[in-house]
Amino acid sequence: MTAISSNQSRSITKAVLSREQAEGVGARVRRSIGRPELRNHDPFLMLDEFNVDQNGGFPDHPHRGFETVTYMLEGQFQHEDFAGHKGTIGPGDLQWMTAGRGIVHSEMPVKSQTRAHGLQLWINLPKEHKMCEPQYQELLDGEIKRANPQDGVVVKVIAGESHGVKSQVYTRTPTMYLDYKMDKNKVVEQSIPASYTGFIYMLKGTAFIGDEEFEGQAHHTLTFSEDGTDTIKIRTKDEDAHFVIIAGEPLHEPIVQHGPFVMNTKEEIYSTVRDYHDGKNGFERAAHWRSSIARK
Ligand code: FJE
Ligand code: FE
């Protein structure tokens, strides 16, 4: 009841290294959430750090029942969906795609570029939003607000709030997504709603997390304790660090996943497979569609 615990940081309960594995067509990913040691991180289904060269990509595939959030770090990525929505995202840009009842699309690197490097997060949707109309929220690097809690610490607020700066992204599943760049020898505290589950994915350098200063290194996922604490403390020592903090309100709803379809029951998965096959209930345009960007 007293505020004793509220001044303490969450601690780290797990640290898992993601090595590269093959995914899509000729693409490589470091899988964070979604790998065997990091399943059931409700509301998150998957986080991939992808590296795709000009021969690879993720051609023509469907989604239903969740959101895909693509955040580019390097290179250019093109996308095109079955409703004619298309575009290119470059370093620092964001595509927040709510697949809802159905999207079929291709995600491919721009040919002339050497490689496309970024993060793709899959966020589960609450039951009442699984069959919503698809929606895109697209922000260029320059449109994403920054917090600057102190000299040498810059936070891009992709979703949620940091140090008084709020993202304009609408989240159907309450989500915080922050891109932190810290110089060496800095300490920051980030508040995170006490009910959220969360983790850090390290992109570069080393950070020391929590009161016990758990050491986090590149390509590691560090999961947060769920102890009702509403702050995470992060320190850098003799090198700079780049990482994302991702946290969200757990849905506590049953999850039945069949590849790119995520519903609440087996029956809903069966009808999704049928809808996709028959071109119904949101997949009408899937029938004879093939993207132009996925053809060699
Ligand atoms: C996939 C279903 C999918 N990781 N990282 C099945 F949707 C995908 C898929 C991706 C993906 C796309 C991007 Cl841009 C980045 C990703 C999985 O599209 F690979 C399989 N096997
Ligand atoms: Fe996709």
Q: Which ligand is closest in space to the CA of residue 260?
A: 1
Q: Please tell me the distance between residue 254's alpha carbon and the centre of ligand 1 in angstroms.
A: 22
Q: How confident is the model at residue 4 (pLDDT cuts 50, 70, 90)?
A: very low
Q: Please tell me the distance between residue 59's alpha carbon and the centre of ligand 1 in angstroms.
A: 9
Q: How confident is the model at residue 296 (pLDDT cuts 50, 70, 90)?
A: low
Q: How confident is the model at residue 287 (pLDDT cuts 50, 70, 90)?
A: confident
Q: Please tell me the distance between residue 54's alpha carbon and the centre of ligand 1 in angstroms.
A: 16
Q: How confident is the model at residue 111 (pLDDT cuts 50, 70, 90)?
A: confident
Two tokens at 223? 């999961």
- Helix, strand, coil percentages for the chain (3-state, nearest 5): 10, 50, 40
Convert the pLDDT of each residue in 124-158 to its tens digit.
999 999 999 999 999 999 999 999 999 999 999 99
Mean pLDDT for all residues in the chain: 95
Lowest mean pLDDT among 3-17, 173-187, 206-220: 3-17
Residue 27 vs residues 22, 74, 259, 280: alpha-carbon distances, Å:
6, 15, 17, 30
DSSP state for residue 10 in the 8-state scheme = P
pTM of the model: 0.96
Q: What pLDDT does residue 112 have?
A: 75
Two tokens at 107? 């995600």
Convert the pLDDT of each residue in 21-64 to its tens digit.
999 999 999 999 999 999 989 999 999 999 999 889 999 999 99
Convert the pLDDT of each residue in 257-269 to its tens digit.
999 999 999 999 9
Cα(260)–Cα(249) distance, integer angstroms: 22
Of the two residues 221 and 289, the one the predictor is more confident about is: 221
Q: Whose CA is nearest to atom 18 of ligand 1?
A: 58
Q: What pLDDT does residue 272 have?
A: 98
Convert the pLDDT of each residue in 43-52 to its tens digit.
999 999 999 9
Question: Mean of the pLDDT values across residues 282-287?
Answer: 93
Cα(262)–Cα(266) distance, integer angstroms: 10
- Mutation probe of ligand 1 site: the residue of 58, 73, 262, 272 with most atoms within 8 A of C-beta: 58
Among the atoms of ligand 1, which is closest to the Cα of residue 77? 14
DSSP state for residue 271 in the 8-state scheme = H
Which residues make Cβ contacts (< 8 Å) with residue 267, sequence separation at least 6?
Answer: none
Question: Mean of the pLDDT values across residues 273-294?
Answer: 93
Q: What pLDDT does residue 118 have?
A: 98
Q: Please tell me the distance between residue 107's alpha carbon and the centre of ligand 2 in angstroms.
A: 6
Cα(287)–Cα(281) distance, integer angstroms: 12
Q: Which ligand is closest in space to the CA of residue 78?
A: 1
Cα(210)–Cα(235) distance, integer angstroms: 8
Contacts 24+ apart (CB under 8 A), 272-280: 272/64, 272/65, 275/64, 275/102, 276/62, 276/64, 276/102, 276/104
Q: Which protein residues are within 6 Å of ligand 1, measured from CB?
A: 23-24, 29, 48, 50, 58, 61, 70, 107, 120, 259-260
φ/ψ of residue 248, rounded to 5: -165, 165
Asked if 35 and 16 touch (Cβ cutoff 8 Å), the reply is: yes
Strand partners, 156: 146, 179
Question: Mean of the pLDDT values across residues 89-107?
Answer: 98
Q: Whose CA is nearest to atom 21 of ligand 1?
A: 24
Proportion of the chain above pLDDT 90, given as a percent: 92
Residue 5 scores a pLDDT above 50:
no
